[in-house]
Amino acid sequence: MAGVSNPIEVHGLVKTFGRTRALDGLDLELVPGEVHGFLGPNGAGKSTTIRVLLGLLGSDAGTATVFGLDPWRDATEIHRRLAYVPGDVSLWPNLSGGETIDLLLRMRGIDPRGTRRDELLQRFELDPTKKGRAYSKGNRQKVALVAAFAAPVDLLVLDEPTSGLDPLMEQVFNECVAEHGAAGTTVLLSSHILSEVERLADRVTIIRGGRTVESGTLDELRHLRRNRVRAEVAGKVPDLSRLEGVHDLDVDGRVVSASVEPAGLPGLLAALTAAGVLSLTSTPPTLEELFLDAYRSTS
Amino acid sequence: MNLMGTGLLLRFALRRDRVLVSAWVLVLLATVAASAAAAGPLYATEAERVAAAEALDASPAIVALYGPILDTTSLGELSMAKMTVLYAVFVAFMSVVLVRRHTRVEEETGRAELVGATAVGADAPTAAAVLEAALASLLLGVLAAVADIACGLPVVGSLLFGASWTGIGLVGAGIALLAAQLSSSARSVGFLASATIGALYLLRVVGDTTSASWLSWLTPFGWGTQLSAWSQPRVWLLLGYLLLAGALAVGALALRRRRDLGSGVLPDRPGPAVGSPRLRDAAALVVRQQATALVGWTVGIAVIGALMGSIVPSIGDLLDTDRTRAIVEAMGGVGRLQDSLVFAIASVVAVVITFFGIGAVTRAAGEEHDGRTETVLATATSRRLLLLAVGGSAVLGSTWLLLVAGVATALGRGDGFGAVGASLVQAPAVWLVLALSLLLLSVRSRWAVAGWALLALFVTVGQVGPGVGLPDWVLGLSPFHHVPRYPAEVFTWPPEVVMTAVSAVALLAAWTRYRSRDIG
């Protein structure tokens, strides 16, 4: 590691539970100020990675640093600079939501009185006087989110944070992440909800089976991928099957659709022009498709 | 009533509780057998029995605790005196624990919803919980009767005594079931049920020790004595248990129908919208979690201590017959006898107080299991502070309770503050058990519950061991065995220092392990 350390650096991380290899050489790198999507199916190792980064779990091999520090040794120092929202929030049954929020803030060394907690309670429409046991899953999530968003931090670690939130509250969540992002906070956003990540993330890392499958900006990942092209031609559909870089060809009358690698586009367009193209649409892959593609290529 | 799936849920409950129920039943059976076996040789002649029984009946404090002995000639009644009333409380608590565990706890955790969404009947979970408690009570009653018969007590009396235990177990189940409908908090349900049992016990205490003796007929804890199992029994009184338990269950079911799953009949009070500045770190959080329990324990221990202490001065008068006087003189006079009693009280109360400490440790394991420890440790809270808070609440809380017990005993006795020393002398043994529990928690959070098993083992060894002649090294397994028998004997430092040192080593090992293990 040279120069200023990144908020999060993970290289070749291995974590085993008995015979299960939860993390198998995982890599993850966050640069300062970015919102980083951390994607993977259930059981891919997202939460395990986060727990290692928080110093709750030890690792068996590889390195992991947060702010250039060792999360195992320097946990409290690191935690002063971050806020964490677990995927499954469990609250103290006999503490009210307001008490829990203030306690979590104070345990991070922050005086709740100087924070945005009241504003956030309103935005998330959360009643802080209810006891922990009385909250629904979504409302438990909101308690943790308000505590995390209430004060400025250097790093937000959000583990599937919107599970249980309705779409309106998801919108509030998105705004909060954007506000923190604009203020220079680095955000690690673990999720399997692709649209949420697509909207918020600058870069994504896709993992599966404890390994990193893909990592980069959405543009970079798209660059490597095929566009879906659909065209209608005036005359007879020419034989496109021999063209380089054209896949999944489907001809239905005068309508043709195919997945096209960037390198195959010139040849395809030339053939379509010659056939008298009437309409043409080209769609970049959604994150969903990147995701499925990444899974397919490693399974 | 839609009871579909009750059998399946009952089998599932029995499987989940197989260790808990077996341990509870076995410990109670061991005490029954030990009492029954010890009484025969101790009171061989009728004259001895009458003397002992009259002595017990003459002390209001003992009657308050154990209830009176109606037939002073009966060996069975004398030997089961403690079991009939005081230990019946533990039988009732077994049912409370089982019913609460399978009703309100399941609702609070949301598991009841999971089960309720399957093809089981709406009343099946409740029915399964009650059936399980009833089965456990029946098993305990039958085995207790068998143990008495095996130890040579009369058959009819033994069966009726066993039936009274089954009865009080059923009543306990009814109380817990009703409490489970009232509050949406599992902790409050436990508190409500415990308080009800305490109140019913107190009602009997008043009835048995004052002229208002009819009060004892109003509480199931009085029925055990009034049943008169060992001579001229009032068998019809057994119906009382059934009717009361049935009425409680019917009432609970009616309430159950009128409320939603997860809610209680009593409204949930809102909490403060803003946290107090004092609730600022893990230590304050642990204190907050334990405060209510500690207040309840302080009151309970103070009452028990005062009650026990008030027995002490009368012990000399109790045994004031020609023959016993000779024995007492041989043992070092009445003063020495009182000191022995003070030691005995302190050692029993110390074991009870250890329950509080282990409860504090296992609570921390629950926090970790539920993911709240993770939330705390993801803040700037260090593992050191968290373990210190948990260990501190267990150790300091227990030590405080020992002090309360000592002071209360001393006040009850009304003769100086020697009892305070007697109680505090127990501290190193309590610390050692708690240090071992913390070590279990630190090795693996799931192991923390083994702290209960450890305590049960020590208690059983201490209670039953001397009676059945276990070898010294087995008795020595229990830390409580090594406590100096102060004030009955002179106080010696070595065992206290050694136990404190071993506790310190165990705590150090716990810390070393806790800082280096995975959380969750």
pLDDT tens readout for residues B400-410:
999 999 999 99
Task: Report pLDDT for A2.
Answer: 44
Nearest CA among A160, A154, A151 for reference residue A85: A160
**pLDDT beneath 50: ranges in chain B:** none
Question: How distant is the Cα of B277 from the closest Cα of chain A, in angstroms?
Answer: 8
Q: Considering only alpha carbons, which residue of chain A is nearest residue B282?
A: A107
Q: Identify which of B268, B378, B519 has the shortest CB distance to residue A84.
A: B378
Contact assignment for A96 to B271 by CB distance below 8 Å:
yes
Helical residues (DSSP H) of A88-231, grouped into ranges: 97-107, 117-123, 137-149, 167-182, 194-200, 218-223
Question: How distant is the Cα of A113 from the closest Cα of chain B, in angstroms?
Answer: 10
Q: In what order do the strands lie in the sheet with A277-283?
A: A246-252, A255-260, A227-233, A277-283
**Taking residues A20-33, what's their average pLDDT?**
94
Q: How far apart are CA A126 and CA A144, in angstroms?
A: 11
Evaluate if residue A219 carries a pLDDT over 80: no
Q: Considering only alpha carbons, which residue of chain A is nearest residue B371?
A: A90
Contact assignment for B371 to A133 by CB distance below 8 Å:
no
Task: Report pLDDT for A1.
Answer: 42
**Taking residues A94-116, what's their average pLDDT?**
93
From chain A residues 70-99, the ones with a CB under 8 A of any chain B CB are: 75-76, 79-80, 84, 86, 88-99
Structure token digits, residue B271: 């909490």
Q: Identify which of B280, B372, B518 has the shortest CB distance to residue A90.
A: B372
Q: At what angle do helices A167-182 and A137-149 cross, to 10 degrees?
A: 10
Task: Report pLDDT for B369.
Answer: 92
Q: How far apart are CA B249 and CA B242, in angstroms?
A: 10
Confirm or reject contact between A53 and chain B (CB < 8 A).
Answer: no
Q: How far apart are CA B260 and CA A134, in angstroms?
A: 13
Evaluate if residue A135 carries a pLDDT over 60: yes
Contact assignment for B280 to A107 by CB distance below 8 Å:
yes
Average model confidence (pLDDT) for chain A?
A: 88
By the 8 A CB rule, do A97 and A135 touch?
Answer: yes
Q: How far apart are CA B93 and CA B86, in angstroms?
A: 12
**Phi and psi dihedrals of A64, rounded to 5?**
-145, 130
By the 8 A CB rule, do A142 and A100 touch?
Answer: no
Q: At what angle do helices B6-16 and B124-150 cross, to 10 degrees?
A: 50
Nearest CA among B402, B399, B405 for reference residue B305: B405
Q: For A226-298, CATH number? A: 3.30.70
Burial class from Cβ neighbours inside 10 Å (0-12, 13-18, 19+) for residue A18 reads: exposed
Q: Identify which of B269, B380, B517 has the shortest CB distance to residue A107.
A: B380
**Phi and psi dihedrals of A139, rounded to 5?**
-70, -30
Task: Report pLDDT for A87.
Answer: 87
Percent of residues, chain A, with pLDDT higher than 70: 94
**Phi and psi dihedrals of B17, rounded to 5?**
-105, 15
Q: Considering only alpha carbons, which residue of chain A is nearest residue B278?
A: A103
Of A36-45, A168-177, B147-156, the one with minimum mean pLDDT is A36-45
Question: How distant is the Cα of A154 from the closest Cα of chain B, in angstroms?
Answer: 14
Task: Report pLDDT for A77.
Answer: 93
Looking at this protein, which amino acid is placed at residue A56? L
Question: How distant is the Cα of B441 from the closest Cα of chain A, in angstroms?
Answer: 16
Contact assignment for B374 to A56 by CB distance below 8 Å:
yes
The segment(s) of chain A belonging to CATH 3.40.50.300 are 8-222
Query: In B, which residues are within 8 Å of A122 by CB distance?
Result: none
Looking at this protein, which amino acid is placed at residue A174? N
Fold of A8-222: Rossmann fold (3.40.50)
Confirm or reject contact between A45 and chain B (CB < 8 A).
Answer: no
